[in-house]
């Protein structure tokens, strides 16, 4: 199959490239390297079933189609599947680039939906647990509509993902576009950007250097962390299922940020102490996926325990 992955040089995107390359698919990896990194795909670039296109998908579709033609994908029905992952995803990143983030999940997505329809391809959109905002239902099932601040500092991300979901359903209802929506919960693993400001890279780096571990707020807020290869398996199962979604993908094991810090300290064999900083605005107090639907309809659930995944991630941080 010929498969486009937007955001393919990013953290999750590059793991998805690897998984599909190993399956023997032809991968067209598209990334503007805003938060992605060419290092993440270095090992794939010599493969003949891998093409990298440096492009900002919020530019015109015509421009992108010209590039595709130059790469040999001429005419219609050449692309089978599109995974639209292109978006900044760390709160620090998307708050620094709010307009780019909002447009990638709306204008960029619109371009990719139109492209998918020309090729009669399936498009899968990576939405987010942030669609639930500050949740009043716990854990969060897909049927919960969420509690999002539409003008808050996270809204460039949350609301553009929510708009993206609405846009896909509009094309699906009106034109029968083949769409799929996943809501990704916190994910971690090798190839996370060290300076992306998220909790796992921060804690690992602090622990490895025996620096203070920065807890935001009192650390009683919770997250549920999924190891990246587990997530990628779920994404691919969703793409090849009959499901439209939205479908929660994440690891339901919930922990407080304090527990998370202690686990990282233990796994890194570190002497780091905790320091308490202020809690960022609109930081959700809890988050845990209800994955009954993914279990039932995709026959998917995560397998890698946090203690194992964090060890592998720490190893990667040490070596890179
Ligand atoms: N966090 C923290 N210390 C850090 C970075 C993050 O305590 O150095 C907290 C943050 O306030 C949030 C949680 O960890 O409650 C997860 O933050 P992250 O930025 O990884 O992603 P989010 O789930 O908020 O999108």
Residue from 238, 267, 260 nearest 179 by CA: 238
Q: Give the per-residue pLDDT at 77.
A: 78
**pLDDT exceeds 90 at position 204:** yes
pLDDT of residue 74: 78
Residue closest via CA to ligand 1's atom 4 equals: 199
Residue of minimum CA distance from atom 16 in ligand 1: 199
pLDDT tops 90 at residue 206: yes
Q: Which of 133, 288, 300 is nearest to 233 (CA)?
A: 300
Compute the average pLDDT of residues 255-279: 98
The closest of 74, 94, 82 to 7, measured between CA atoms, is 82
Q: Binning pLDDT at 50, 70 and 90, where does residue 73 land?
A: confident
pLDDT value at residue 30: 98
Q: Ligand 1 centre from 172 Cα, in Å?
A: 35
Point out the catalytic residue in the list 132, 157, 171, 227.
Answer: 157
Evaluate if residue 76 carries a pLDDT over 90.
Answer: no
Tokens 């590039």 sit on residue: 67
**Interval 273-284 mean pLDDT:** 97
Q: Which atom of ligand 1 is nearest to the CA of 154?
A: 25
Q: What is the pLDDT of residue 302?
A: 98
Active site annotation includes 227:
no
Helix (H) or strand (E) holding 99, with range, is helix 98-103
Task: Tell me 191's DSSP state.
Answer: T
What b/e readout covers 4-18, taking b as 16+ CB neighbours within 10 angstroms? Answer: bbbbbbbbbbbbbbb
Phi-psi category of residue 236: left, alpha or beta, with phi > 0 → left and psi -120 to 50 → alpha: alpha
Q: Which two tokens stand for residue 100?
A: 């780019």
Region 226-244: mean pLDDT is 98
Q: What is the pLDDT of residue 32?
A: 98
Residue 41 confidence class, pLDDT cut points 50, 70, 90: very high
Burial class for 237, CB neighbours closer than 10 Å (0-12, 13-18, 19+)? middle
Closest ligand 1 atom to the C-alpha of 203? 8
79 exposed, middle or buried (CB, 10 Å; 0-12, 13-18, 19+)?
A: buried
Q: Is the pLDDT of residue 253 over 90?
A: yes
Q: At what angle do helices 11-23 and 228-239 cross, to 10 degrees?
A: 60
Residue whose CB lies within 8 A of the most ligand 1 atoms, among 161, 187, 199, 285, for a mutation test? 199
Going by pLDDT thresholds of 50, 70 and 90, the confidence category of residue 75 is confident
Rounded CA gap, 234 and 228, in Å? 10
Q: What percent of the chain has pLDDT over 90?
A: 98
The model's pLDDT over 139-190, given as tens digits with 9 standing for 90+, comes to: 999 999 999 999 999 999 999 999 999 999 999 999 999 999 999 999 999 9
- Rounded Cα–Cα distance for residues 93 and 98 (Å): 8
Q: What is the pTM of this model?
A: 0.97
Instruction: Calculate mean pLDDT across residues 99-104.
Output: 98
Give the span between the Cα atoms of 159 and 104, in whole angstroms: 12
Residues with CB under 6 A from ligand 1: 91, 186, 198-199, 202, 214-216, 221, 223, 257, 279-280, 283
What average pLDDT is seen over the chain? 97
Token pair listed for 138:
């716990």
* Over residues 272-301, mean pLDDT: 97
Taking the C-alpha atoms of residue 115 and residue 101, their distance in angstroms, rounded to an integer, is: 20
Q: Can you tell me the distance from the alpha carbon of 276 to that of 124, in angstroms, rounded to the nearest whole number?
A: 39
């Amino acid at each position: 199959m010929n498969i486009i992955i937007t955001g393919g040089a990013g953290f999750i995107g590059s793991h998805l490239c690897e998984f599909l390359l190993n399956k023997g698919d032809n991968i067209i990896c598209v990334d503007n390297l805003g938060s992605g990194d060419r290092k993440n795909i270095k090992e794939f670039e010599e493969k003949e079933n891998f093409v990298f296109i440096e492009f900002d998908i919020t530019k015109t579709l015509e421009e992108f189609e010209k590039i595709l033609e130059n790469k040999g994908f001429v005419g219609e029905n050449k692309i089978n599947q599109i995974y639209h992952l292109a978006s900044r995803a760390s709160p620090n990143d998307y708050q620094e680039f709010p307009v780019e983030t909002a447009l990638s999940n709306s204008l960029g997505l619109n371009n990719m939906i139109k492209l998918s329809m020309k090729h009669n391809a399936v498009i899968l959109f990576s939405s987010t647990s942030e669609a639930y905002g500050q949740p009043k239902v716990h854990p969060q099932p897909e049927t919960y509509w969420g509690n999002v601040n539409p003008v808050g500092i996270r809204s460039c991300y949350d609301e553009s993902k929510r708009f993206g979901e609405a846009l896909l359903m509009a094309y699906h209802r009106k034109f029968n576009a083949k769409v799929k929506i996943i809501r990704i919960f916190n994910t971690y693993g090798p190839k996370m950007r060290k300076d992306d400001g998220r909790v796992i890279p921060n804690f690992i780096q602090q622990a490895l250097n025996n620096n203070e571990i920065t807890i935001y707020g009192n650390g009683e807020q919770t997250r549920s962390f999924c190891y990246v290869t587990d997530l990628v398996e779920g994404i691919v199962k969703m793409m090849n299922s009959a499901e439209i979604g939205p479908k929660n993908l994440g690891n339901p094991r919930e922990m407080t940020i304090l527990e998370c810090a202690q686990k990282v300290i233990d796994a890194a064999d570190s002497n780091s102490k905790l320091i308490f900083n202020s809690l960022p605005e609109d930081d959700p107090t809890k988050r845990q996926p209800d994955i009954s639907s993914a279990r039932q309809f995709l026959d998917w659930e995560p397998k890698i325990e946090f203690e194992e995944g964090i060890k592998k991630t720490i190893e990667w941080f040490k070596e890179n």
